[in-house]
Structure formats: structure tokens, C-alpha cells
Structure 1
Amino acid sequence: MLFRCILVFFLGLGSLHAQQKFADLGDLKLENGLTIQNCTIGYRTFGKLNPQRSNVILVPTWFGGTSQQKANIANAGNMADSTHFFVIVVDALGNGVSTSPSNSKTQPNEKFPLFTIRDMVKSQYELVTKHLKLNHLYAVMGVSMGGMQSFQWAVSYPSFMDRVVPIVGTPRQSAYDVLFWNIELRTLERGNYTTEALKTTGLIHELNLFTPEYTQKKRSAPEATAYLNQVEKDLSTKNPYDWASQIRAMLKQDVMPGKTLQEAAKQVKAKLLIVVATQDHMVNPAAASEFSGYLKAPLVELTSNCGHLATSCESEKVTSFVRAFYGL
């Protein structure tokens, strides 16, 4: 799988199984005025809701990830330990499980409307409040694009949760991020959203998951060729329009458009623990670090040469800090 290295982080502690569930949101009005018709949100739940209904952690998925892949984050001893918390892992719009270009019957592929990270968060808020009948969360926590959604939760619904843990995410795209994600997007667009175009896009994506130093030490040149071939094979079942839809959402990521990060930070009421990878070549850590300064929030820096996937290489460190932040 393309995200095999992320999966090692979340699947390393065993296997949890929970039924895939769906919530029907009806027609979801987007911030641009368009509508996702017959919108459904996929999710899985782990653990038990306590009598006070105060132990809920919501975990949005990363770019291209699903709630099934992310299930083990709720294992005992992991960051969202379901022996203590009621964990809701939510499939983000466009991931192929929740309503997406690939599965929409009325707005398939190129007909699917443009949505944003804020729209993802809005859909999750409707899931939690209207379908699960919850009026408060203990925490929101996500990795990568899930970290972007976590930042957005903190600004869009500042009183709705006690804690927020964005991990290798960003509250606002940097110039580097804009360049990188546009390279992927334009490769898909100029390749007419074919599987071959997606394979090329995926190779670009894979290259930026790690630092050059880590890649050099991890595998030999012949092994790298075999690895790239496997990546292309894994991507043959992916939908290019799903991939593009989530890239477009990330490109528009800005927790408060038209305002400075310092102004946006003033909206935040929850306690934040922010985790960044200092050598991240996929999600630049600068904006997240800046945001932590305005909030006076603890900042955990992962300094290994693993790049964006430093969360895997330094998983014990991340887990330790997050569990301590939750009082475990």
C-alpha cells in the first residue's frame, strides 16, 4: 500500500475490528455555495461512552486514508486508547468511503463539487451532533491531513472540545506546500485523470514522504526500483478524482482566510498539543510551529530524518507525549 509506512505506526500494536458505519447527512451545503448531494459519512467507533458522555475522541483520516486503516489507533496503549475513551474514527470526504467522486451516483468523478478542509470538519460536526447526539468532545486528534482537520476544528468549533492534537499537520499551507501539492494535482489534470497519471502522481508523493538521507539509507538502487513498481501496482485500484479532490481541499487549507495566524489563534479555546516533523518534505512545519507560539501550546518536535513519516520512526515518543497530554 502507498501509505504502508504510516500503517506500521497505527497497526503495530495488534488488530481491532469495528463495523463500518454510515451517517446520511442529506444534501451537504458547502462553503462555496455548492452542494454534495446525498452525502454520507463513514465512521467506526471503539470503546464505550462513559455515563457523563465526556470521554469522546474524534480522529479524522489522513490523505487517502480510511477508518479501517486507522482503526488500531484505538488499541490499548495507543494514542486514542479505547480502554479509556470512546473513539470515533471518521472517513474524510473524498476518501472513497464517505461520499466521494468515485462513489457518488449523482455527481461522479469530474462532476463532484470542490470542497475544503472546513467542509470536511462541518460534515464531521453534523455526524457528531445530529447522528451521534453528542454535544461535546474530549479531544480531536489527527495525522497529516487529519492534523489539518484538527487545526480547523480548533478554530471552527472552539468550544466543542477540550483538547486538540494536530500531528504533522498545518493550519495554513506554506509556499512549499502549494508548490508540492500543485505538482501532484497538475500531473493528474494534464494526464486526464488516467490511472497512468495517478501512478506518476503517486511516485512524486512517495518520494516526498521521506528525506533523501532516509531513502538513501533505507534501500539500495535495485530495491528502490522494485519499490516503485510496487507503489504503481498499489495505485492501480485508486481513483484519480478522489485523489485530486482531497488535494484541492488541502490546497485551500487556511483555518481563518483573510486573517493572520495570530488572529486565528485568538479564536482557539481548547488546549492544544502540536506535533511537527522538523525535516518534513510533505507538510511544512513552520505554520504549525508559529501557531503553537501564539497559543503558548506545547510543541513536540520530531527530528529524525524520516521526514513526514517521523511519526512512524518516533512513534514511542509521539504516543508518550499524547497519552500524557490526555492524563494517561
Structure 2
Amino acid sequence: MNSDIATFELGDFTLESGVVLTGARLAYKTFGTLSPEKDNVVLYPTAFGGLLMHNEARIGEELALDPRRYFIVTVALIGNGESSSPSNTPAPFDGPRFPEVTVADNVRAQHRLVTERFAVDRLQLVIGFSMGALQAFEWAARFPDKVARMAAICGAARCSRHNYVFLSSLPAALTADGAWNNGDCVATPMQGLKAFGRIFAGWALSQAFYRDRLDQSVLGFASLDDCLEQFWDMFYQPKDPNDLLTMVRTWQRADISANESYGGDFERALGAIEAKALIMPGTTDLYFPVADNEYEIAHMRDARCVPIPSVWGHIAGDGISSQADADFTNRHIAALLDS
């Protein structure tokens, strides 16, 4: 863990399941200076498999998230290996014994971070990509009077049924490895992790991306096999398998209406969002299609759907892979902040 990553101790944190996660903590980093009025705060949670450093591409002078203007708090998802996770939590919640965690659990923990550590009552913006977008939606629905603006990039307010099916393939592949041993791995399940990454390779990027051979012309790989081996294998094989499965389960259970406040009424939960909202799906995203976001904004008070015109599939919104896509999203985030 980098020396500039800070830790917020949650102590004994009661999850939505009723399980008390002892010694819970959030990892976070800050950029910029908190204003005396505490009215310049941007919260930026991480995405699936992402570390805090992966959020930094969207932060900088001359970018929408300019630390000269805003106090930006990036916070790590529970289960990502930096915040409390199966890989860094002692018994009795180590490894496969780590409890189920929801998006709402993450947001409740983040609310404690911003209110207790920084004494901030209202956020100017909550922004997120992918699973970060799930958290942005949850923030805006759970704390409608605490969020002035939200930006959800290649994400949604809940995990769709089709998305759930895709996600179910990941643990099925990983746990088929003979080394898995119900999560108490007898060795690193390299074949399972390889299969995990290969599934993502077919879903995270679009058919058009591969048809246009951008893996070769832009990413520089000599062949598809080289792309699979040198990128997808290398990205997932170093990760802790129990961390990955914790994040998969968190993603699958995402739904802003799955609580006592809304009782499963998805449209009512969307209608409760007071934030000025920017929803940016990727036009070729296989996880979160444009149609899902269009349905959501039809039930929101003040929301715009601005699709990212890209062949980069889901990762059109990651702020790293395609400069054109990063520039497109940055322009619209800047306009949201200036509105």
C-alpha cells in the first residue's frame, strides 16, 4: 500500500446482513484542499478490481476534477484489497469467511468517512465508473439531500438480470480450479484466475473493438492470444481470488431500492434522487446498455443521458484506455460541475 494512502477506521461495522465486521476500515486518498466552507468535496469510489491509483487518471490540473478547485476523496471498495477485504482481514473473517458486503454497506461506510473524518455534510459531486457508478447511484438515493450532483459512467442504479448472469460465470470459472479448495486455496488457482480474465476479455470490450483490431493497432499486441496472455492474464492473476468473489457478489446485489426506505420500488427510488445527474453509458457497453440508463433517467428528477460514442465497450468509461473517450467524459463532467 502506498504511503500516501490513508486509512479510516470503522471499528466494529454492522453490515446490512447483520454481521458485525470487526476492525473494519476504508482506504482512501485525497487531492486538493478542503475549503473553509467545506463546499468543494468530490467523492470518487473505485470500480471492480480497481485500486485507488486507477482513479488518478481523471484527476489533475486542467481536468474537470481539478485539485486546485475541488477537494477530491477517492475511496477504495470493500473487497478490493486496500479497504477491508478477505486478503487482509484476520480470522474469523479471513479468506472465504469474509461476509457478504453490499453497495449500500460501502456507501454507509463512506458516509461515515466524509462526515466523521472531514465533517462534510454535503457533496458537490459523487462520481464513479462501473461499480463506482453503482455507488454513486446508491449515494444519491440513500442520501438525496447530501448529494448536489452525481455522475455515473458506464454503470447503473442496479444490477440487471442479464448482468447478473454474466457475473455468475466468473465464480463458476474460478472455483472450478482444483486448487480452490472452497476458498482455502492449496495453491494459487492460476487456471481459475486465467479463466476469470478470459471471460472479462470477451465482455469488457466490444465486438467492434475486436473487429477493428484495436488490440493490435492501438494496444500494440501482435495477436489476440498475445492480448489475452499479456493483458488479461497479467491483470487478474496477481489478484486474490476471495477478494474477486467478494466484489462479484457485491456487484450482483446492487439495487438502490433494496432497502426499507423504498421496499423494492425501483422507480420510487430513482424519483427520490435530488442530485443533478449525468448518466454516461458506453454505446457498445455489454454490461450496462444505454437502454437501461434511458429507463432510469425517465424516472429521475434532473438527469441527462449522454452516451459515450465509442467502440471500447465497457472500458470506454475508465478514463484510461482511450484518450478520446476520456476527453469526451471530462468535458461533460466539467459542464456538470459548472452547472
TM-score of the two chains, using structure 1 as the length reference:
0.90
CA distance in 2, matches of 1:307, 1:234: 18
The corresponding residue for 1:227 is: 227
- The DSSP-based 3-state class of the residue aligned with 1:49 is coil
Matched residues, number = 312
Q: Where does residue 299 of structure 1 map in the other structure?
A: 305
User: Matched residues in 1 for 2:199 and 2:290: separation?
Assistant: 20
CA–CA distance in 1 between the matches of 2:98 and 2:161?
27
Q: Deviations over 1:205-252 (max 9, x none)?
A: 122111112113214695111111112233332101111101100100
For 2:274, the equivalent position in structure 1 comes to 269
Aligned residue among 19, 27, 31 for 2:4 = 19
Q: Distance in 1 between matches of 2:215 and 2:337?
A: 37
Cα offset for 1:299? 1.1
Partner of 2:202, secondary structure, is helix
Aligned counterparts of 1:117 and 1:152: Cα–Cα separation in 2:
7
Match of 1:211 among 189, 206, 212: 206
Matching residue of 2:32 = 47
Equivalent in the alignment of 1:144: 130
The structural deviation recorded for 1:67 is 1.2
How far the C-alpha of 1:18 sits from its partner, in A, is 8.1
State the AA in 2 paired with 1:160.
Answer: K
Q: Percent identity, aligned pairs only? A: 28
Separation of aligned partners in 2, 1:50 and 1:61? 24
Q: Deviations over 1:103-149 (max 9, x none)?
A: 10121110100001111111111111122222221110011100010
How far apart in 1 are the matches of 2:236 and 2:135?
Answer: 25
The normalised TM-score by structure 2 is 0.87
Q: CA deviation at 1:196?
A: 2.0
Pairwise CA distance, 1:166: 0.9
**CA distance change for structure 1 residues 219 and 64 in 2, over 3 Å: closer, same or farther?**
closer
Q: Which runs of 5+ in 2 are unaligned?
A: 184-188
Q: Is the 8 A contact 2:197 2:235 kept in 1?
A: no
1:77 deviates by 2.1
Aligned residue runs from structure 1 range 40-79, under 5 A: 40-79=25-64
Partner of 1:248: 249
Q: Which amino acid aligns with 1:319?
A: N
Cα distance in structure 1, aligned partners of 2:242 and 2:35: 40
1:204 partner letter = I
* Counterpart residue number, 2:186: none
Larger mean Cα displacement after TM superposition, 111-120 or 68-77:
68-77
Equivalences for 1:64-213 in 2 at 5 Å? 64-106=49-91, 107-191=93-177, 192=180, 194-213=189-208
User: In 2, Cα distance between the equivalents of 1:27 and 1:288?
Assistant: 36
SS in 2 for 1:298: strand
1:92/1:187 Cα in 2 relative to 1: closer, same or farther (>3 Å)? same
Taking the aligned partners of 2:215 and 2:149, their CA distance within structure 1 comes to 39
Aligned-pair Cα RMSD in Å: 1.8
Question: For the residues of structure 1 that align with 2:289 and 2:266, how far apart are their CA atoms?
Answer: 15
